[in-house]
Amino acid sequence: MLHDLVKRRTGEGGDQLTLADWERTLNEDREREAEVRHDPERAHEEVAELADALVPRLVEELAARTSAGGTELTTAPLLTLDQLVAVLPKAKRPKTWKRWLYERTRRGEVPGCVKLGGMLFFEREPALAWLRAGAVTR
């Protein structure tokens, strides 16, 4: 039933959720909750049904976010400045961390720093090891 409601609410199947549908669903939910309190197996089935309905939507949302040029940490050999900043503690603003990193790269303190076309990139392992070690100077 929940799966049918999700389909109706999203417009799949061409139906639109009406007030009567909503009221009927609320009543069914109340009845189901009463049954679930006495049947843990039923509760597990309800959660599994909800998860099955949500998983495709979550996958789509995550795919959209990662393909939109986010600053997620990837497994690429070179990290962008934004990707390296994303690893740093959130106690400081990204702008502050960028300034801090620019200063360290000017001094030659950041291992694995590569400048390509006027942009800074960082070799993954040396830069992350440097950060883990407390960003000590050479």
pLDDT tens digit sequence for 65-103: 665 555 555 567 888 999 999 888 888 999 999 999 999
CA 43 to chain centre: 27
Give the whole-angstrom CA distance, residue 36 versus residue 50. Answer: 14
Token representation of residue 61: 């949302």
Chain segment 3-46, per-residue pLDDT in tens: 555 554 544 555 677 888 888 988 988 887 777 677 777 777 87
User: Which of 126, 91, 95 is closest to 112 using CA atoms?
Assistant: 126
pTM, full prediction:
0.44
Do residues 1 and 9 lie in contact, with contact meaning Cβ atoms separated by under 8 Å?
no
Please give the DSSP secondary-structure letter assigned to residue 14. Answer: S
Give the whole-angstrom CA distance, residue 126 versus residue 138. Answer: 12
123 — phi, psi (to 5°)? Answer: -65, 130
